[in-house]
Structure 1
């Protein structure tokens, strides 16, 4: 074995986790700002329905498939449509929270990156919710779609006139889809498993659910994807560390000799 001496190089290590109390306050604060901001967009019913008609006709001019094609698949059985309604009602926030918690514990650098991307996408979405109120397709008579949550349950929304917990005219863009896509992208980037591409099933199922339950138009998801793409182009992925580098080629063999290390090619 040929050997030479060189100064010892420190192995790359994971960056320190951000203070957990600060992160909890930050995430909670962002969520509250978003919820309050959505409420500021209420009261624009007439404009929301005009925009809905425009979006519906724009999709037809773009030759996008009708949302009814997806809904008809769900309506083949009560069980399937209830599963879709349950997925819509229960998966969105828990999946995103679990994603952030896992990154915080296992990939701190990727956690900071993902949190920044999600915050940027959510802020941009809030601006659109305020400036472009949009009634979902379940409310648009021209769409001819069924409000599956109201008919089959479970539903997270009350009557729009009395619902004080959510703004039902904030369909554009779909954060259900935008966040789901970010969860998949984040896990694909932060892990090295050969099966990691299966995470794309999450945004795919989410897309079919939000369209099939008549809560969103195709364009809602397209705009959410565009916002995420813009955020990812600006907020760069952190460099990989030793913990996430995976099993590459052979590593150098290092044996300490005082203040130096002996390096040879491992075979």
Structure 2
């Protein structure tokens, strides 16, 4: 019987923290694949703009809210639109990295699960730029939207022809939104605080930011959500088995997350 002062990892069946060096390499690889993998599908400007018109028309057919309305709300003040641009430019990577670091230190089994899900979604998302290059709405004159980052700053993109660090014709899916949604879901699953549902504010704000700054369409976020849903259906979160110790105290034991159909 384990005393309450012993670490959770001493519990039979608990998951040991993965080796740090290996995880640093894996997470660094995930970010590099995301950052540089899209460059392999650069170009296709005419096709990307043609697909942008198709997406814009499809959204109107589906009666989705207009991206113009969201951007108009941001443009009521320079401060608000500048904050939105800053959120887009600075929160995406640090928030995801902080999420993974916290899970690694505090919830090792949940960390393994979350890392697998993020890797699966990122890998799947890199396929679409090859098969469906898509220009963001800020490049679509018919949308009536402006490039808020270029006008108000800060901007993370240069002119598409000279931008060698990103593929601006890879708007679908929005990994900004997909990763933000996974951060929220991961923290909700891994914690028990009554306030944990407030983590959903992160993907909600991210959604308004990517739409209002004209970097993504609604359908980009919907596609990312579908990919994340598929990954979550295939990659199980760690199960928590309640055991009784001492005076009725319940301890939670995390088991290794597994793919559907895989042995545990």
TM-score (norm 1): 0.86
Determine helix, strand or coil for the equivalent of 1:115. Answer: helix
Report if the CA contact (8 A) 1:184-1:199 is conserved: yes
Deviations 1:144-188 (A, max 9, x none): 001000000000000011011111011000000000000000000
Paired residue for 2:6?
none
Report if the CA contact (8 A) 1:14-1:108 is conserved: no
Report if the CA contact (8 A) 1:51-1:132 is conserved: yes
Deviations 1:221-245 (A, max 9, x none): 0000000000000000101267xx9
User: 1:33 Cα shift?
Assistant: 2.8
Task: Output the aligned Cα RMSD.
Answer: 1.8
Paired residue for 1:171?
171
Paired residue for 1:99?
99
Paired residue for 2:142?
142
TM-score (norm 2): 0.87
User: 1:204 Cα shift?
Assistant: 0.2
User: 1:252 Cα shift?
Assistant: 6.1
Higher relative contact order (CA 8 A, sep 6+): 1
Tell me the distance in 2 between the aligned counterparts of 1:152 and 1:11. 54
Tell me the distance in 1 between the aligned counterparts of 2:75 and 2:203. 21
Paired residue for 1:198?
198
Alignment of 1:1-267 (within 5 A): 11-12=11-12, 14-240=14-240, 251=248
Tell me the distance in 2 between the aligned counterparts of 1:219 and 1:202. 19
User: 1:108 Cα shift?
Assistant: 0.2
How many residue pairs get aligned? The number is 240
Determine helix, strand or coil for the equivalent of 1:161. Answer: helix
Tell me the distance in 2 between the aligned counterparts of 1:174 and 1:14. 35
User: 1:87 Cα shift?
Assistant: 0.2
Report if the CA contact (8 A) 1:103-1:110 is conserved: yes
Tell me the distance in 2 between the aligned counterparts of 1:235 and 1:204. 24
User: 1:13 Cα shift?
Assistant: 6.2
Report if the CA contact (8 A) 2:67-2:214 is conserved: yes
The answer for unaligned runs of 5 or more in structure 1 is: 1-7, 254-267
User: 1:11 Cα shift?
Assistant: 4.5
Change (3 A) 1:153 1:52: same
Change (3 A) 1:252 1:153: closer
